[in-house]
Structure 1
């Protein structure tokens, strides 16, 4: 059975956006939680390694902001509402992971989509700047989904599939992401799409995630970007 579409997460899957995300988070904290800046900056924003530890340890971005960065729930909600604007405003460069362009080009005859908590405009700009925008028929970002329907809720995935295919009765999809929430999202999306759908979950472990520790296990683990060639190739 061949794939109907390949869906991707963005941050930590297509691009290494850690330096930019740290910079954005610091800017947002300076507005919503100035007591967590300067000498009181959360330790998980001090280095990329510590950021990865927190990002992959948290179940979702809300827990990341509250349990790891120390924001109150009110501050967390305000920070979330500012994320898309500050992403688009921030000029820190992000880079595709080495080999990602080759993977997308190899399977460019398939429809691709992105379900992300990044900004749609920001994502599209990076894809186009790297000459891989054409295969991505739909991008559903943070600002396209209400706060209550963010991943791992399947709403954004259903919206992405509808945009790509014009329907939601496809039989075989693949979702690639670097976080346990992405594995949960793939499972939730399969349930939302109904009995005729199968969503294959692939963990992008090349971004320093540890899928073997996840309570929801992916179908495949890509330890390096090159692994995606063979994993996707099984269904090509």
Structure 2
């Protein structure tokens, strides 16, 4: 059965945003939890390798902020509300992973969407700047989904699918992410759509994730953007 659409995660899947995310997180901590800044900056924010380790081990961003960075539940909620503001004012450059532009341009026959916990306006701006926004029909970011229904809850995926297909239901989708929570999201989205639709979970391991160690296993692992393109084309 051919694919009807491809849905993407953003950070760690389409773009390498680690340097910017570290910078933003440090500035947010300085605002709401100054006791976790400066010399007391959490270990996981002191290098890209440490950030990758924590980010791929955490279940979601709330888990990352509370159980790795040390924020309280209240501080975590405040941090989420500040993310878009700090992201828009931060000038650290973010780029598509090398080879991803070719993947997108090779798959323009399909509609694409993004389901992310990043800011949707920031995602649109990056895709337009890189000249790859044309195949994207919908982007659902942190601010587009109720705080209690962020990934891995399927709400954002359902909203994205509705924006692409309207009342029509797709029969087969692919969701590509770099995190164990993205696999959970794909499975939850599949259950929400029902037995008439299949959601294929693909992990983009080229950003540093180690999916073979995860409790929730994807259907496929792509070690490079080139292998990801071949995988997607095998479903056309």
TM range (shorter): over 0.9
Alignment of 1:53-132 (within 5 A): 53-132=53-132
Q: CA deviation at 1:101?
A: 0.2
CA distance in 1, matches of 2:88, 2:142: 12
Structure 2 length-normalised TM: 0.98
| Counterpart residue number, 1:201 | 201
Deviation string for 1:35-72 (max 9, x for gaps)? Answer: 00000000111100000000001011111001110111
User: Is residue 31 of structure 2 the alignment partner of residue 27 of structure 1?
Assistant: no
CA distance in 2, matches of 1:200, 1:75: 35
| 1:202–1:221 CA contact under 8 A, matched in 2 | yes
| Counterpart residue number, 1:15 | 15
CA distance in 2, matches of 1:125, 1:66: 30
Report the number of matched residues: 236
CA distance in 2, matches of 1:233, 1:173: 13
Match of 2:225, SS?
A: coil
| 1:158–1:168 CA contact under 8 A, matched in 2 | no
CA distance in 2, matches of 1:79, 1:182: 21
Q: CA deviation at 1:215?
A: 0.9
CA distance in 1, matches of 2:117, 2:226: 25
| Counterpart residue number, 1:214 | 214
Instruction: Check 1:225–1:177 CA distance in 2 against 1; reply closer, same or farther (3 A cut).
Output: same
| 1:88–1:121 CA contact under 8 A, matched in 2 | no
Deviation string for 1:189-223 (max 9, x for gaps)? Answer: 00111111100000010010011111111000001
Q: CA deviation at 1:73?
A: 1.1
Unaligned regions of 5+ residues in structure 2, if any? Answer: none
Q: CA deviation at 1:94?
A: 0.2
| Counterpart residue number, 1:47 | 47
| Counterpart residue number, 1:224 | 224
Q: CA deviation at 1:168?
A: 5.3
CA distance in 2, matches of 1:88, 1:172: 35
CA distance in 2, matches of 1:225, 1:104: 10
Moved more, 189-198 or 175-184: 189-198
The structure 1 segments of at least 4 consecutive aligned residues displaced by more than 2 Å after TM superposition are none
CA distance in 1, matches of 2:72, 2:193: 35
Alpha-carbon RMSD across the aligned residues, in angstroms, is 0.8
